[in-house]
Chain A
Amino acid sequence: MARFAAKKTSKPGDSLIRDDYEHGYSFDTDSYEFKSGKGLTEKIIHQLSRMKNEPKWMLETRLRAFGEFQARPNPMWGGDLSPIKFDDISYYLKPTEKVVKSWADVPKDVKETFDRIGVPKAERKFLAGVKAQYDSEVVYGSLKSTWVKDGVIFLSMDEGLAKYPDLVKEYFGSVIPLNDNKYAALNTAVWSGGSFVYVPKNVHVKMPLQTYFRINAEAFGQFERTLIIVDEGASVHYIEGCTAPQFNSTSLHSAVVEIIVKKGARCQYTTVQNWYKNIYNLVTKRAHVSEEGQMVWTDFNMGSKVTMKYPSFILAGKGAKGETLSMALAGEGQHQDTGSKATHLAPYTSSTIIAKSISKGGGRTSYRGKVFISPNAHHSKNTVVCDALLLDDKSRSDTYPVDQVYNNQVEIQHEATVSKIGDDQLFYLMTRGMSEENSRKMIVNGFIADLVKKLPLEYAVEMNRLIDFEMEGSIG
């Protein structure tokens, strides 16, 4: 592209991809309670289950899932997963003895990590409850007393299984079966940590619940498992954030998130994914939505090497609603293969999928989506909008939509656009006194503005800050 008159950017010498990822620090793992060693065997699964004191059915589920994982090849679509060396990864690293309720009781290294990410501050200011997971285990947890009184349960998944075994047994794997896909099977085999949330009938948890996931160790796999049950007429907003140290070796993050939204209930699940660019992020997320219920996924992906994630909803009851707002940013060496799945099984169900992606420095984004409308789902509606913004000629964006419609009385819309930041846009803003870098930031932030405003204010501010950070020094 033609250059605007030669001038220095605010940080000379910045390469296209910044090496100063702000969460790149790490601590050693010498003091950990337990380390499984490299590779995964049935023996490790037995050991893990025994240490967690699990019921027999869970061990059996884990072993069956391990068989599924081994039997299945990597998917032949999406990102390139061939660099993952399953035998070089540690599958279970237990940093501390137990979950504590006070930051004072958290080991120094761990506390420093979460202080730097800003967890205790956010907890004081605007969250109803917090979980902090460090490698394989949740090390800290809190829930404000007003929600405890209302009967809200917010535990680590391990605690949930120990305290509410029947509830967990009823719903575990009910939305995402252990043989759903290779990585859901792997998660089911070695899951550890994650959240268990139950919101009783008609309780509205007005402040968000948040879990922070931190990978600290090198060449590690984090496999948290989350189950959220929102009972009739209740509502909750759950937020997760993820960061990891700057290592050259490959790590794996494979989560499974199952959500049950009962009649007239509402659940919003927000992800701010900012893994370091060595992580393969292969996550399965799905919600089952009953009559007049509503599920909203707000899914922001900026980090990781490869992400394959398609938060989905099964609209099983009449009038159920689903919405996915997805934002992906891919820089050099990154592939964000994201999207959503909308499954309409009942009449008068409606869904909206809005996906925005930004590719720069040779990064690649893909929108992959599936809309399924069953013969029963008359008078259902679906809208898909995907917009891609390319910041240079090296970057790439693809769209892979699939619609399967088995009923005539439905409305389906699909819109897609691809745009580039043009010289004319930059020139226009620069004639108003904005620098080239700030002009780019402004265009990018404007592009995602309608998604960001769906976040609580604190997160919207943080998201704009992260985008600005990613855009710095990216003048091509």
Chain B
Amino acid sequence: MKTSLKIAGLKASVADATILRGIDLELKQGQMVVIMGPNGSGKSTLAKALTGHPEYTVKGSVKLNGKELLGLAPDERAKAGLFLAFQYPVEIPGVKVLNFLWTVYTQQHPERTRRIHPSIVDFRDWLVGKANELGIPDSLLMRGLNEGFSGGEKKRLEILQMAVMQPKFAILDETDSGLDIDAIKTVAEGVNKIQRETDMGVIVITHYQRILQYLKFDIVHVMVNGRIIKSGGPELVEELEQRGYGEIRG
């Protein structure tokens, strides 16, 4: 049986404002689901609540392969196999990308490190290959983490981090925003490749359908005001594009 991510009755609030009003969602490894919705519908809150941002008070249940994640610190959720590609990646000055990713990799996958990439040199060669596939120049790996990166460089680096982490489930929070059309295609192809190689499950959060034409997804959920109000197949994207969220809601 495939590993699943099961979200049940998830509520999240911040300083007395309720943002998520009960989300139910199930996803198996190898699947891809899309969450679309207008600004302020709670999409990014969902991403942060799932990964354990301390700002939110949460209720409900999030189980990864039967293990309850709510109540765990973000690093423990990461170790359980959950990954978030940030909408706004944070700058950590002076922490060199290569060294950072090597630390992350050895921690997350000690067994694989020993077997395949026993030294940072082996790892670097592999990482450079992956980076280049995503259109990231080698020189970026020698700079501080996201330090002075352009918006597009930051987003590409998120996908590279996903390739290093090799999670069971990944959440892509508006990875397409701020990318030009060529970059969207490169990044989407990168996501597809990692999914093929690792059989991870993916939740794609997006505003627009642009990136979706390059991704092979199963289900679309429409989120409005902290709830999923409609779910459907890929045809729902077309409908949203023509009619907008207002009509769906109405």
Binding site for B on A (CB under 8 A): 1-7, 423-425, 427-436, 439, 442-443, 445-450
Interface check B181, CB cutoff 8 A: no
Known: A4-B52, A433-B107, A434-B104. A443 touches B95 (CB 8 A): yes
User: A433 — nearest CB in chain B belongs to which residue?
Assistant: B78
Question: Would A442 and B92 count as touching, CB distance under 8 A?
Answer: yes
User: A421 — nearest CB in chain B belongs to which residue?
Assistant: B92
User: A429 — nearest CB in chain B belongs to which residue?
Assistant: B92
Please indicate the chain A residues that have their CB under 8 angstroms from the CB of B126 in the complex. Answer: none
Q: Nearest 8 A-B pairs (CB), nearest first?
A: A446-B94, A449-B94, A2-B54, A446-B95, A430-B74, A433-B78, A5-B73, A428-B90
Interface check B175, CB cutoff 8 A: no
Q: How far is the CB of A468 from chain B (nearest CB, A)?
A: 13
Please indicate the chain A residues that have their CB under 8 angstroms from the CB of B96 in the complex. Answer: 449
Question: Would B73 and A430 count as touching, CB distance under 8 A?
Answer: yes
Please indicate the chain B residues that have their CB under 8 angstroms from the CB of A443 in the complex. Answer: 92, 95
Please indicate the chain B residues that have their CB under 8 angstroms from the CB of A442 in the complex. Answer: 92, 95, 100, 103
In the complex, what distance in Å separates the CA atom of A446 from the CA atom of B96?
A: 8
User: A356 — nearest CB in chain B belongs to which residue?
Assistant: B94
- A-B contacts, 17 of them at CB < 8 A, read A1-B54, A3-B54, A5-B72, A5-B73, A5-B74, A428-B90, A430-B73, A431-B83, A431-B84, A432-B78, A432-B100, A433-B107, A434-B103, A435-B75, A448-B94, A449-B96, A450-B94
Question: Would A427 and B54 count as touching, CB distance under 8 A?
Answer: yes
User: B70 — nearest CB in chain A belongs to which residue?
Assistant: A5
Given A5-B52, A435-B73, A447-B93; 9 other pairs, CB 8 A cutoff: A423-B53, A430-B75, A430-B78, A431-B74, A433-B78, A434-B107, A436-B73, A442-B100, A445-B95
In the complex, what distance in Å separates the CA atom of A436 from the CA atom of B53?
A: 12
In the complex, what distance in Å separates the CA atom of A163 from the CA atom of B150?
A: 62
In the complex, what distance in Å separates the CA atom of A423 from the CA atom of B74?
A: 12
Q: Report the interface size class on chain B.
A: 20 to 34
Question: Would B108 and A427 count as touching, CB distance under 8 A?
Answer: no
Known: A2-B54, A2-B55, A4-B54. A428 touches B73 (CB 8 A): no
In the complex, what distance in Å separates the CA atom of A446 from the CA atom of B92?
A: 7
Interface check B193, CB cutoff 8 A: no
Known: A4-B54, A450-B94. A428 touches B86 (CB 8 A): yes
Selected contact of A4 from candidates B74, B84, B103, B161, CB within 8 Å: B74
Q: How far is the CB of B189 from chain A (nearest CB, A)?
A: 23
Interface check B76, CB cutoff 8 A: yes
Binding site for A on B (CB under 8 A): 48, 51-55, 71-79, 83-84, 86, 89-90, 92-96, 100, 103-104, 107-108, 144-145, 161, 165
In the complex, what distance in Å separates the CA atom of A2 from the CA atom of B54?
A: 6
Question: Would B107 and A427 count as touching, CB distance under 8 A?
Answer: no
Question: Would A432 and B165 count as touching, CB distance under 8 A?
Answer: yes
In the complex, what distance in Å separates the CA atom of A189 from the CA atom of B25?
A: 78
Q: How far is the CB of B149 from chain A (nearest CB, A)?
A: 13
Q: How far is the CB of B186 from chain A (nearest CB, A)?
A: 22
Question: Would A433 and B94 count as touching, CB distance under 8 A?
Answer: no
Which of A424, A431, A445 is the most central at the interface, judged by chain B CB atoms within 10 Å of its CB?
A431
User: B79 — nearest CB in chain A belongs to which residue?
Assistant: A433
Question: Would A5 and B76 count as touching, CB distance under 8 A?
Answer: yes
Please indicate the chain A residues that have their CB under 8 angstroms from the CB of B84 in the complex. Answer: 431
User: A449 — nearest CB in chain B belongs to which residue?
Assistant: B94
Please indicate the chain B residues that have their CB under 8 angstroms from the CB of A439 in the complex. Answer: 75
Q: How far is the CB of A447 from chain B (nearest CB, A)?
A: 6
Selected contact of B93 from candidates A1, A2, A3, A446, CB within 8 Å: A446
Please indicate the chain B residues that have their CB under 8 angstroms from the CB of A3 in the complex. Answer: 54
User: A448 — nearest CB in chain B belongs to which residue?
Assistant: B94
Please indicate the chain B residues that have their CB under 8 angstroms from the CB of A450 in the complex. Answer: 94
Please indicate the chain B residues that have their CB under 8 angstroms from the CB of A432 in the complex. Answer: 75, 78, 100, 104, 161, 165
User: B90 — nearest CB in chain A belongs to which residue?
Assistant: A428
User: B52 — nearest CB in chain A belongs to which residue?
Assistant: A5
In the complex, what distance in Å separates the CA atom of A430 from the CA atom of B79?
A: 10
In the complex, what distance in Å separates the CA atom of A1 from the CA atom of B53?
A: 12
In the complex, what distance in Å separates the CA atom of A427 from the CA atom of B93?
A: 15
In the complex, what distance in Å separates the CA atom of A438 from the CA atom of B90?
A: 17
In the complex, what distance in Å separates the CA atom of A4 from the CA atom of B56?
A: 10
Known: A4-B52, A5-B52, A427-B54. A436 touches B75 (CB 8 A): yes
Q: How far is the CB of B162 from chain A (nearest CB, A)?
A: 10
Q: How far is the CB of A423 from chain B (nearest CB, A)?
A: 6
Please indicate the chain A residues that have their CB under 8 angstroms from the CB of B75 in the complex. Answer: 430-436, 439
Please indicate the chain B residues that have their CB under 8 angstroms from the CB of A436 in the complex. Answer: 73, 75
Question: Would A447 and B94 count as touching, CB distance under 8 A?
Answer: yes
Question: Would B55 and A425 count as touching, CB distance under 8 A?
Answer: no
Question: Would A7 and B94 count as touching, CB distance under 8 A?
Answer: no
Q: How far is the CB of B98 from chain A (nearest CB, A)?
A: 13
